[in-house]
Structure 1
Amino acid sequence: MSARELVVLGTASQAPTRTRNHNGYLLRWDGTSVLFEAGEGTQRQMVLAGVASPRVERICVSHRHGDHCLGVPGVLARMALDAPGRTVTVHGPRDAEAHLRALASVADADVHALVEAVDATHDADVPVAGVAGARLSARLLDHRVPAVGYRLAEPDGRRFVPGALAAAGIAGPDVGRLQREGVLRGVRLADVTEPRPGQVFAIAMDTRDHPALDAVLRGADLAVVEATFLDRDRDLAERYAHLTARQAATAAARAGVRRLVLTHFSQRYTDPGEFAAEARAALADVGADVEVHVAADLDVVPVPARR
């Protein structure tokens, strides 16, 4: 099993369907888990997906619309059942703070729910938390109520080059010594390593196309983006402040996303293939190499291997 992967718990916008639960996206990242969105029924989807609730460190909600947060009480209740007395942090925009506190109160569960509001803006990433050595941040998007996109970015680092180590005569415990001390027998760490870009996960739910969307998605190895409508209904997307599959794919191309997960589908559509076809056509139009995955409930999508 990949140490970094997305478990899709629900893919429906507004109303669930026979095949789509309300939104829920669990990111497994180096031994911990972050739940993004918790629509109605998320607790049951976690059971079906085999998700261990004690590993969920925090819940990140994009905004206060019900299809993104009405499952919070059930998730907290499940956490209290599996690991009573534990602490979990719930994040959301300032506009949703009172809503999230009320939902945590409704749960009335043996879990310490800390609700932390994010004062996000369109213009900069706002720090949210540290997650297993990576930086979780948020940025305000463009929806009918304040909604944020989240970005989890691992710091850039360096990795050893086996051939360079062998040429320098560094092996066994000496590799660790060199890493700790920086220099060993005249060999510098920089002599036997190369840059290792940090991995990036991004999620952007309800939003119109906006420069802030590009900022949330920039350089993401794995990006989850709403595609509520198809382009033939672009007027509805604009009216209700959502994206089409074409707009989502085009934004991913602009931002240099590697693997794009489309989700948050309107119940008016029954053929997921239409979303894939529209997104891939948009990418072909701009000559972008972005892998497209049209999400289905209970899919597991790995974060791509490092470049």
Structure 2
Amino acid sequence: MSARELVVLGTASQVPGRDRNHNGYLLRWDTEGLLFDPGEGTQRQLLLAGVPAAAITRICLTHFHGDHCLGVPGIVQRLSLDGVPHPVTAHYPASGARFFARLRNASVFHEVAELVEEPVERDGPIATGAFGELVALRLDHPVESFGYRLAEPDGRRMLPEQLARRGVTGPDIGRLQRSGSIRVGGRTVRLEQVSEPRRGQRFAFVMDTRLCAAVYRLADGADLLVTESTFLSADAGLAERYGHLTAAQAGQVAAECDVRKLVLTHFSQRYRDPAAFHTEAAREFGGEIVVAADLDRIAVPKRHSGGSRSSPSS
């Protein structure tokens, strides 16, 4: 199993269908498990996906329309039922705090797990740690909505041949990484001589929104972009009116932002042929496109070498 992957729990917009559950996406990122927009039925979808509640370390809500949050009560209660031992942090638009309070306390249960609320009030970083930096940016939807971006710090990849050539072995490798240079056999070896830049991985999550500057900032250089594509271009007027994207617009964003893998989701129930979303996006974007289906497991593309690109933080 990939250490970094997206587990798709649901892909329907507004209402679930026979083949598509309400929204729900779990990003497994090393030891972190970020649960985005758990709609109704998410608890059962986790079971079907073989993912325990203990895998969740953060809950990230983009906004408080039901298809993006009605699964919160079940998830919150499951954390306590399973006795999840670590704190779970909940991020959500601060303007919807009253809704989160209702969801969190929707029914009687014995609360054992520690749920830490960290509402999002403005654009910018909302969490940092060994996983990198988690940023939230306000989107353009009829209700306040935030997109999320997770960025790993840039680093360096050690080159075994260059290490051997300069006689750097064992504990000296770690010492070199920490200090930037060491003395070996009477000579100074610098980190840049035995390594190359390794760009940190980027993940972006864009849900209900019209095209806006924040969409491009979130998607910029993303290795994996998960984005709504509620409508097809024939219904672009509806997309604009209700604050959504078309598949073609999602493809356009991916192309302009140098995205490596594009995941389309949040499909209107009016459409019967999922392939149409791929077709539209592919006219704009020549990279890898995944039309998400419930219970898909989508790997984050492997790290690659190259210069760093800055991560938007404001």
Q: What TM-score do the two structures reach when normalised by structure 2?
A: 0.91
Paired residue for 2:221? 219
Paired residue for 2:72? 72
Paired residue for 2:207? 205
Cα shift at 1:40: 0.4
Contact 1:100 1:115 in 2 (8 A): no
- Structure 2 residue identity aligned to 1:269: Y
Paired residue for 2:122? 120
Are positions 1:293 and 2:290 aligned together?
yes
RMSD: 1.4
Report 1:85-124 matches (<5 A). 86-106=86-106, 108=109, 109-121=111-123
Report 1:1-307 matches (<5 A). 1-83=1-83, 86-106=86-106, 108=109, 109-121=111-123, 126-185=124-183, 186-283=188-285, 289-307=286-304
Q: Secondary structure at the match of 2:2?
A: coil
How far apart, in 2, do the equivalents of 1:256 and 1:101 lie? 39
How far apart, in 1, do the equivalents of 2:181 and 2:91 lie? 42
Task: Provide the aligned length of Structure 1 versus Structure 2.
Answer: 298
Q: Secondary structure at the match of 2:283?
A: helix
Contact 1:165 1:192 in 2 (8 A): yes
Q: Secondary structure at the match of 1:25?
A: strand
Cα shift at 1:222: 0.3
How far apart, in 2, do the equivalents of 1:16 and 1:211 lie? 30
Structure 1, unaligned runs of 5 or more: 284-288
How far apart, in 1, do the equivalents of 2:233 and 2:116 lie? 40
Cα shift at 1:87: 2.7
Contact 1:64 1:99 in 2 (8 A): yes
Higher relative helix content: 1
- Residue deviations 1:60-113 (CA, integer Å, cap 9, x gap): 000010000010010111111212565321111122222112211225433232
Cα shift at 1:254: 1.2
How far apart, in 2, do the equivalents of 1:200 and 1:277 lie? 25
How far apart, in 2, do the equivalents of 1:131 and 1:180 lie? 18
Paired residue for 1:286? none
How far apart, in 2, do the equivalents of 1:234 and 1:304 lie? 31
Q: Secondary structure at the match of 1:238?
A: helix
- Residue deviations 1:183-222 (CA, integer Å, cap 9, x gap): 2221112221111111000000000011110001111000
Cα shift at 1:131: 4.7
Moved more, 39-48 or 128-137: 128-137
Cα shift at 1:178: 2.0
Runs of 4+ in 1 over 6 A off after TM superposition: none
